[in-house]
Copies of this chain bind each other. A is one copy, B any other.
């Protein structure tokens, strides 16, 4: 099985959204009139981002999902992707399952795989995702305004709780672990939400490194601060019943991998956002306000400033 046959066999599908897809020196893509190209790249490494024995179907899903999440956070419509894989050896079963997971999500999201590279080496997956957005409507990190509400989608911390279970730092019962593991292994990028937030949100980011770390990027870029209410943070039934308060706090505030969106919007959008939540059947929760302070304050139910551990997940921390 040669490199060329590998690419052909597993990663060549129809690319109706491309002028020219896989199989030349470069793919050719037509960006829609009035739009700019939104592009982001993410590398997933065995042993750093996933366990070496990870289910390849789920890994195919997640490799694309984490990239789609970046486009969602820009309010961009996903269109195309490239995929580079380094593999220790040719493993047909693994490749077939990985491709199945990748393409299941790609087809659901209307993404064409337009290029790639396959080579020998330690397992490493690198996706570059491309979408399009009218430039004035892009959801940037630097647009948060004093007085904006801060919102998050879905619920926070379950992926981190599943990881803690896998690392034997907590013990979950089977049903609880199964629910949390789905959040960890099959994150659902909030692409639809990103699209409808165009024109409503002032700023947005996806939560890949933990709420405080990622919201921190918005605050830094927008030169504002934030005040959050810990009891307002949306959590699952499992998280709300979990007894270890320190672990709960860590998962909610600093756990990565949930791939929810955190965004800011003016108070005038509250009604519109509530209606959107209903339409998308996706909870949208107000968790605090943009302030003129430096940094982010989290208040407990009594209004006291909670002491936090620093930051989110950082690959070189």
Residues of A within 8 A of B (CB): 1-4, 6, 19-20, 23-31, 36-43, 45-49, 70-71, 73-74, 76, 80, 82-86, 90, 114-122, 124, 126, 128-131, 133, 135, 138, 140-142, 204-206, 221, 314-317
Contact = CB atoms under 8 A, between A and B. Distances in A.
Contacts of A31: 31, 36-37
A36 B28 contact: yes
Contact of A128 (B74, B82, B119, B315): B82
B25 A206 contact: yes
Contacts of A71: 25-26
B30 A36 contact: yes
Nearest to A140: B24
Q: How many copies does the complex hold?
A: 2
Q: Kindly list the 5 A-B residue pairs having the minimum CB-CB distance in the complex, ordered from nearest.
A: A45-B121, A43-B84, A25-B73, A126-B126, A26-B40
A46 B122 CA distance: 9
Given A20-B140, A25-B71, 19 more contacts: A1-B316, A2-B314, A25-B40, A26-B38, A26-B70, A28-B74, A28-B133, A29-B38, A30-B36, A37-B130, A39-B82, A39-B130, A42-B84, A49-B119, A84-B126, A86-B124, A90-B316, A118-B315, A121-B122
Q: Which of A42, A84, A204 has the most CB of B within 10 A?
A: A84
A43 B43 CA distance: 11
Contacts of A3: 314-317
In this complex, the member of A114, A121, A141, A314 whose beta carbon has the largest number of chain B beta carbons within 10 angstroms is: A121
23 contacts: A2-B314, A3-B315, A3-B316, A24-B142, A25-B73, A25-B141, A25-B205, A26-B74, A26-B131, A28-B135, A29-B37, A30-B36, A39-B114, A40-B115, A41-B84, A41-B115, A41-B116, A43-B84, A43-B126, A45-B119, A48-B86, A117-B126, A121-B122
B41 A117 contact: yes
B43 A39 contact: no
A3 B208 CA distance: 13
Given A29-B37, A115-B40, A119-B49, A138 B20 contact: yes
Contacts of A25: 40, 70-71, 73-74, 141, 204-206
Contacts of A126: 41, 43, 84, 117, 124, 126
Contact of A135 (B30, B43, B45, B70): B30
A280 B23 CA distance: 29
